[in-house]
């Protein structure tokens, strides 16, 4: 669907953005692929990976700047919105800046996409947006609501919006895996709470989920990929089996277990084998046959949390899984 089309990704020099760009250039033949981000050094380093590439464009800009977005989105067909302030403790101590990027930035992407007649927009979300207890999660929940509601806001303009929500991406910036690998030769590994669990997916899985969402979206859906869970202590043992673990206490805004679907969201959630789809109740979209399309509604009170998951990474399976992760 991306052949001879123009695409733009905000936050395109981050871990996801780099993998997305690489995947698009390998699988499709886009007319133009725009990397929109505010870090010129990261753009410079990324550009060197694709010498003489006539498809790739690098556009310095910030999602807080609506005028710059309008310029960048001219003639663009598809948008992936990956730009975010996402490190939980930093967001807690810089709340205004987090809101400017994650909420006001989302509003700018929505307005610019509608006015520039973009066909489809996928916004990346996080497990922290489900029943949030920290500012990052709260801003991403607000962003999720903005993007799903914007299918009504767009009116007759025709731009469609959807959200992809997943847990921790192994090997990405801010992930615990590269941190553990950096300190595996230290005298001890800090663990905030020995009971802690997390969802884990790989970067290729995150990118494939976005491709799936672009193909399947009708507008207003939140796509949730089914993922493995892992105990943080098991992760530390697998990476540094000889190193002592030290419990340090949970950081500001940190959850003991993460959640991808809340009990309240279950009222609008359907099971699609490898994915869940949370539908919006706006305009009766949660009863839309084209959006449900073979999905099975989950049971009342269903929650999708990292501590109650059916699929776990541990032991040799975890070792093999980690061996494939590049950091």
| Residues designated as active site | 128
Helix axes 135-153 and 105-115, enclosed angle (nearest 10): 20
The residues, ordered by sequence, that sit 6+ positions from 76 with a Cβ below 8 Å of its Cβ are 6, 7, 8, 34, 116, 118
CA-to-CA distance for 43 and 27, rounded, in angstroms?
22
Instruction: Classify residue 56 by its DSSP letter.
Output: E
Tell me how far CA of residue 85 lies from CA of 4, 97, 270, in angstroms: 32, 8, 30
Cα first-last separation, the chain: 30
Tokens describing residue 241: 């089996």
Enter the tokens of residue 180: 């553990």
Closest by alpha carbon to 84, among 136, 147, 36? Answer: 136
Closest CA to 160 of 171, 149, 172: 149
Question: H/E element holding 202?
Answer: none
Question: 122 is written with which tokens?
Answer: 């996928």
- How large is the greatest C-alpha to C-alpha distance in the chain, in angstroms? 61
* C-alpha–C-alpha distance, residues 148 and 37, integer Å: 24
Q: How far is CA 109 from CA 18, 70, 99, 116, 153, in A?
A: 20, 9, 14, 10, 13
Q: Which helix (H) or strand (E) holds 164?
A: strand 160-166
Bridge partners (DSSP) listed for residue 276: 224, 271
What backbone torsions phi and psi does residue 319 show, to the nearest 5 degrees?
A: -60, -45
Q: Cα 320 to chain center, whole Å?
A: 24
């Amino acid at each position: 669907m991306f052949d001879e089309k123009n695409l733009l990704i905000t936050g395109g020099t981050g871990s996801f953005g780099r993998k997305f760009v690489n995947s698009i250039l390998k699988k499709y033949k886009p007319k133009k692929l725009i990397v929109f981000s505010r870090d010129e050094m990261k753009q410079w380093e990324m550009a060197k990976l694709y010498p003489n590439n006539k498809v790739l464009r690098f556009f310095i800009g910030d999602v807080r700047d609506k005028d710059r977005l309008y310029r960048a989105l001219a003639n663009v067909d598809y948008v992936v919105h990956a730009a975010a302030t996402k490190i939980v403790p930093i967001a807690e101590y810089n709340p205004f800046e987090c809101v400017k990027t994650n909420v006001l930035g989302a509003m700018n992407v929505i307005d610019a996409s509608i006015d520039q007649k973009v066909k489809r927009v996928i916004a990346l979300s996080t497990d922290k947006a489900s029943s949030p207890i920290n500012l990052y999660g709260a801003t991403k929940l607000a962003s999720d609501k903005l993007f799903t509601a914007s299918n009504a806001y767009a009116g007759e303009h025709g731009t469609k919006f959807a959200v992809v929500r997943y847990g921790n991406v192994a090997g990405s910036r801010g992930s615990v895996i590269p941190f553990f690998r950096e300190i595996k030769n230290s005298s001890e590994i800090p663990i905030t709470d020995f009971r802690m669990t997390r969802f884990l997916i790989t970067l290729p899985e995150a990118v494939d989920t976005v491709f799936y969402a672009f193909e399947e979206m009708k507008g207003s859906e939140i796509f949730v990929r089914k993922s493995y869970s892992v105990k943080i202590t098991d992760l530390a043992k697998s990476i540094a089996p000889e190193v002592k673990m030290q419990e340090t206490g949970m950081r500001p805004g940190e959850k003991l277990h993460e959640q991808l679907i809340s009990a309240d969201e279950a009222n609008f959630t359907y099971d699609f084998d490898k994915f869940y789809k949370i539908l919006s109740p706006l305009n009766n979209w949660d009863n839309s046959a084209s959006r449900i399309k073979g999905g099975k509604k989950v049971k009342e009170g269903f929650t999708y949390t990292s501590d109650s998951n059916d699929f776990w990474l541990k032991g040799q399976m975890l070792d093999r899984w980690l061996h494939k992760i590049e950091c």
